[in-house]
Amino acid sequence: MEPLTTERRIEAYAWMSLTRTFDDAMVAMWKQGRGLGGAFSQRGHEAISVAAGMALGPDDVVAPMHRDLGTYLVRGMTPERIFGNLLGRATGPTRGRDANLHGIGDLDLGIIGFISHIPQALPTTLGVAMAFKLRHERRVALTTVGDGGFTSGGTHETLNMASLYRAPFVLIVEDNKYAYSTPLEQQMRSARFAEKAAAYDIASAKVDGNDFDAMYAAVSVGVDRAREGGGPTVIEADTMRMLGHAIHDGAEYVPEEMLAAWKRRDPVAAMRNRLLDEGAITDEELDVIDQTAHGKIQAAIATAEAAPLPDPSTLHDGVYA
């Protein structure tokens, strides 16, 4: 596990700021009708996704979900390319073939493109981990699942096999309290994910998903365990989906007080304040970071909006390798 120096934590803040800035800009664009199709806000998930991205090594592979924007960014998927995908441009990683964050994979960056179908990312990532194991490579595969996705059959099959084969596999459960409109208590009676992992003989940890330092530490422990041949880990990240399921969803079904309480635990603000309290950085320096993020995102949007749509004649390209 790479020690969490102050520099690294400031870097982490920068990634979280970039992620949040991307999200805010995307939401604004879609509300203005400048978007295409749907879009998922990840607001509130910055600590989880950035920690996952930073805790992995360069040769590791990750299969992020629809709220793991930060992971994509940390792994090197540029905002230009992601906005290109969101806007259906030929310059996006799917060349206009897949929507929003779906399918934005790039194996050169160690990123698997995901599909809607829950929980396909899990068995796929297990297969990546198994390839590493069978080839005796010291590499790790990580993916995430929501509280909702945890109730899907493939999750059980994947956890059982990950345990059986002692695969170098790390799973982060993003317990953000809702699956679309369905609250946790209408999804399962026991939401003790760490205990569920134990029933598979899988090591687990329960973490405040809005605390970057805690997330980074927990993911690092899992990644190290996997790399050392210690088998899989499940990390239960306690967090909240702040802006509804997707752009069209007003999320009226979420109690106001609940949102208010979680607003006080905003992961980006928390990281910012912690660095300030520690005197690790000044307000001015943090503002520079935020402004830099803002500039990058605005430039990315401009680039993406200016990029060409795919040529219809390419419709059949790539159906087969």
Partner 1 sequence: MSENFGFSDAEQSDGRMLTYLEAIAEAIAQEMERDPDVMVLGEDVGGSFGGAFKVTKGLAERFGDDRVLNTPIAELGFTGMANGMALMGLRPIVEMQFADFISTAFDSIVQFASTAHYRWGGKVPWVIRAPSDGGIRSGPFHSQNPEAWFVHTPGLKVVAPSTPADAKGLLTAAIRDDNPVIFFEAKPLYRSIRSHVPEGEHVVAIGEAATVRDGEDVTIITYGSMVHVATQAADTVPDVSVRILDLRTLKPLDSEAVLEAAKATGKVIVLHAANRNTGFGAEVAALIAEEAFEFLDGPIIRIGGADTPVPFSPPLEDAYRPSLATVADAIKTLAAY
Ligand X SMILES: Cc1ncc(C[n+]2csc(CCOP(=O)(O)OP(=O)(O)O)c2C)c(N)n1
Which amino acid type is present at position 64?
A: P
198 interacts with a copy of itself by CB under 8 A: yes
132 interacts with ligand X by CB under 6 A: no
Nearer of residues 78 and 187 to a copy of itself, judged by Cβ: 187
Task: Please tell me what DSSP assigns to residue 111.
Answer: B
Distance CA 168, CA 184 (A): 29
Restricting to residues 62-81, name those near ligand X by CB under 6 A.
67
Which of 154, 209, 222, 267 lies at the binding interface for a copy of itself (CB under 8 A)? Answer: 154
Nearer of residues 14 and 188 to a copy of itself, judged by Cβ: 188
End-to-end distance of the chain based on CA atoms, in angstroms?
Answer: 37
235 interacts with partner 1 by CB under 8 A: no
The answer to whether residues 191 and 147 touch, using CB atoms and an 8 Å cutoff, is yes
- Contacts of 291-294 spanning 24+ positions with Cβ under 8 A: 292/14, 293/14, 293/17, 293/18, 293/20, 293/21, 294/21
Which of 149, 209, 232, 267 lies at the binding interface for ligand X (CB under 6 A)? Answer: 149
Which of 88, 146, 222, 231 lies at the binding interface for ligand X (CB under 6 A)? Answer: 146
115 interacts with a copy of itself by CB under 8 A: no
Binding segment toward ligand X, per CB under 6 A, in 1-9, 21-29, 141-149, 287-295: 141-149
H helical segments located in 94-211: 121-134, 153-164, 193-198
Binding segment toward a copy of itself, per CB under 8 A, in 2-10, 189-197, 274-282, 302-310: 189-197
Binding segment toward ligand X, per CB under 6 A, in 76-84, 88-96, 112-120, 298-306: 112-120
# binding residues, Mg ion (CB under 5 A): 5
113 interacts with partner 1 by CB under 8 A: yes
Please, is 33 exposed, middle or buried when counting C-beta atoms within 10 Å of its C-beta (0-12, 13-18, 19+)?
Answer: exposed
58 interacts with partner 1 by CB under 8 A: no
68 interacts with Mg ion by CB under 5 A: no
Which of 13, 132, 212, 216 lies at the binding interface for partner 1 (CB under 8 A)? Answer: 132
Distance CA 64, CA 72 (A): 7
* Rounded least distance, CB 218 to ligand X, Å: 19
Contacts of 264 (CB under 8 A, 6+ apart): none
Distance CA 36, CA 292 (A): 26
Which of 6, 181, 273, 298 lies at the binding interface for partner 1 (CB under 8 A)? Answer: 181
* Rounded least distance, CB 222 to ligand X, Å: 20
Binding segment toward partner 1, per CB under 8 A, in 24-32, 145-153, 193-201, 217-225: 145-153
* Rounded least distance, CB 154 to partner 1, Å: 5
Distance CA 94, CA 102 (A): 9
Distance CA 41, CA 20 (A): 9
Task: Please tell me what DSSP assigns to residue 229.
Answer: T
Residues in the site for a copy of itself, rule: CB under 8 A?
151-157, 160, 163-164, 186-190, 192, 195-196, 198-201
